[in-house]
Amino acid sequence: MARRGRERGRSGRRPAGDEALLAAFDDPGDGMFTPLERAVVTVALDARRLGHASAIPAALLADATAGMPPSRLPGEDPRWLLPVLHELCHGARTRIPGGSRALVEERAGAGLPVIGYHPAAILVEHAGRRRRCVVPAQPFWDAAARHARSLDDLLGLAGAARDRGRIRIAVALYQRVADAGAPGGTAALRELGGLRERIGDHHGAARAYQRAVDVGDRSALAGLARALAAAGDDAGAARAYQQAIDAGDTDQVGWLALLRERTGDHHGAEQLARQAGDAGHRGVWAALARLREQAGDRQDAERFAGEARSLRLWRDLARGRIRAGDHQGAERIARQALAAGAVFVLRDVARRLERADDVQASLRLYRLAVDAGHRTMLAELGQARHRAGDAAEAALAHRQATTAATTTDTTDTTEAATTDAADAALWRESRAREQEGDHDGAARLARRLADAGDHGMLRELARARERAGDRRQAERLARHAADAGDTTALRELALTRERAGDHAGAVRVYRRAADAGDTGAWGGVARMYERAGDPQAAARVYRRLADAGDAALLRDVAWARERAGDPDGAAWAYRQLASTGDTDLLRRLGRAREQVRDLDRAAWAYEQVADAGDPTALHDLARVRRQAGDPPGMRRAYLRAVDAGDTGALRLLTDALGADAGPLLRYGLEPDGQVSPPWW
């Protein structure tokens, strides 16, 4: 049996010491950490969550913290960090028995100097949710550029800046790695090239890719070719594409073919397309076919479509022919598609020809498909004949379609059911004893079944004893089932007594179920307290459930408070539920409120999901803000998603900005979320 009470949140898996550390760090009024100590740890947490995987140098912590509001620093003494780090790593005030230290030193070796610091894993996990939508201020990035421990750490931080739309910062960090000349430099140069392509700096992209090629990175040739082509250097692009192909990158054959086509070398383009097709890249033929179609060369377009064997291309070309009144051309393309087995293209063309009043062409195509063995087209042919007024031929086609359907091979999927004969005998014997009045004998047999893992008979006997008024025996049987791991019988008894108005008896049985490990039964206890007019006792039970991280019960509580018209109580349950990591119900609440146009409540629900560490809800929030006629709110939601590293949200943010998106696309964002001023 699945026990709802065993659904635990994150808090149920943490050591008590780590929970105490997290609570102390989260509460500025706790007094365990000074504001300066909290600031240093926050810098370490941001560095770790944004990609600095190795030990974080003290210099990075010092410079980044010093860039925060000056009131946090104790005067001008440059050695202010030493006592702070000592307290965080070794001090008595910030030590929690059984818990991790907020920072942990890493030394180069036994007896050697400290090389950096690691934040506590519990704090890193927490910051990953609570600070997920936070981009640190510029001093953090400056300190990281100067003091990151390794080039890999710089690459990680640069990737985080890139994913958050902070292009200027990402370019600076990648440039620092590239200029170091280490093995990671070629990866940084490729990233630089990609970023400059993205913002439209094609000349800068070409320079970065060329540097990578010059140090032996042949994989950068494709990017170099793209950048040169975008910058208008067709000859240079063609050379780079050819070099990439010669280096084994056959994917570039197609791009070179399209470049040849664009520059008027149609023969060269066709040769390259054939080469790409032989290597399995038929999409080149499709692209060339569309270019020839646009140029008015329909014959080559159809010929290339045959090479591409693309259903969408055949369909689009045929539709274009029909719109242009070239029904013969459309029929010819449909025949070509049918020869390749694409009967769906033929059906689409036939239907459109019929709508264009070319019934005979439509019927010819259906008959062609049937003659080619596609018997499923018989029904289509019959319907077309009927619409054309040919009742006799329509009836014949329908009869043929019915015959084809009834002669289709079928497979008998009947599954034989099996029953364990011994267990079945015990069930029959236990029921017989119960009916004869031998309740003890029936119970003994039911316990034998339970020992074998089958608790159903104990539940059945418990229900029978309850109906007969033997409540003590009913509870005893239900407890036996609970001892065997199944508290369902206790839950059923409690619910029966609750419905009968025996609240005291229901509470007693719910408590027995909870004591047997079914924490979900506490929900019944809380419900009984509410019905008895004791909301404070009910609230104590609910708080206990929240502390235990019982997600299933909190979902019940949230819906119950909603139904009772208690939005504040529901909000408390939703927030507690989100703290366990279970945000599904909140998201469903948002969608339900959205459907009835309760947009404020929907926005609140999506905000809660996002605040719990799930930034995907920010897309929902943006949608609600748009529906509410709040464009600034929509843009703020998308910006928060960008700050969380959601690269797709950046495109949506630019769409939301509309005509004002140009500077964002060219220059990216500053740490505070404002569009960067021109920097390249």
Instruction: Please report which confidence band the pLDDT of residue 491 belongs to, taking 50, 70 and 90 as the band edges.
Output: confident
- If one compares 158 and 515, the residue with the highest pLDDT of the two is 158
Report the pLDDT averaged over residues 319-339: 94
pLDDT of residue 471: 78
Report the pLDDT averaged over residues 400-406: 59
User: CA 154, CA 176: separation in Å to the nearest integer?
Assistant: 8
Q: What is the pLDDT of residues 3-48, one digit of tens each?
A: 333 333 444 455 678 889 998 998 888 789 999 999 999 999 999 9
- If one compares 310 and 138, the residue with the highest pLDDT of the two is 138
Element (H or E) spanning 440, and its range? helix 439-451
Nearest by Cα to 44 from 30, 25, 27, 29: 25
Asked which of 88, 122, 149 is the last residue of a domain, the reply is 149
Among 120-134, 295-309, 408-422, 650-664, name the one with the lowest average pLDDT. 408-422
Which single residue is written with the structure tokens 């206990």? 544
Q: Angle CA(393)–CA(396)–CA(398) in degrees, nearest 5?
A: 110
Report the pLDDT averaged over residues 433-444: 78
pLDDT of residue 4: 34
- If one compares 261 and 487, the residue with the highest pLDDT of the two is 261
Report the pLDDT averaged over residues 94-116: 92
> Is 457 domain-assigned?
no
- If one compares 449 and 331, the residue with the highest pLDDT of the two is 331
Q: Which residue range(s) make up the domain with 71?
A: 21-149
Report the pLDDT averaged over residues 438-449: 77
> Is 226 domain-assigned?
no
CATH of residue 620: 1.25.40.10
Nearest by Cα to 47 from 178, 122, 143, 133: 143
> Is 506 domain-assigned?
no
> Is 397 domain-assigned?
no
> Is 276 domain-assigned?
no
Nearest by Cα to 365 from 401, 337, 393: 337
- If one compares 469 and 256, the residue with the highest pLDDT of the two is 256
Q: Is the dihedral of CA 396, 397, 402, 404 positive or negative?
A: positive
> Is 545 domain-assigned?
no
User: CA 167, CA 33: separation in Å to the nearest integer?
Assistant: 35
Asked which of 134, 149, 164 is the last residue of a domain, the reply is 149
pLDDT of residue 418: 34
Among 159-163, 205-209, 351-355, name the one with the lowest average pLDDT. 351-355
Among 138-147, 476-485, 542-551, name the one with the lowest average pLDDT. 542-551
Q: What is the pTM of this model?
A: 0.69
User: CA 209, CA 219: separation in Å to the nearest integer?
Assistant: 9
Q: Of the segments 253-267, 277-291, 361-375, 524-538, which one has the largest average pLDDT value?
A: 253-267
Backbone angles phi and psi of 388, in degrees to 5: -80, -5
Which single residue is written with the structure tokens 């709802």? 4
pLDDT of residue 231: 95
- Average pLDDT of the chain is 84
Two tokens, residue 411: 């497979």
How many distinct structural domains can be found in the chain?
Answer: 2
> Is 441 domain-assigned?
no
Asked which of 149, 164, 196 is the last residue of a domain, the reply is 149
Residues with Cβ within 8 Å of residue 207, at least 6 apart in sequence: none
pLDDT of residue 402: 62
CA-to-CA separations, 44 to 25, 133, 237, in angstroms, rounded:
13, 16, 45
pLDDT of residue 581: 66
Two tokens, residue 315: 């369909």
Q: What is the pLDDT of residues 66-100, one digit of tens each?
A: 887 665 666 566 688 999 999 999 999 999 988 89
> Is 490 domain-assigned?
no
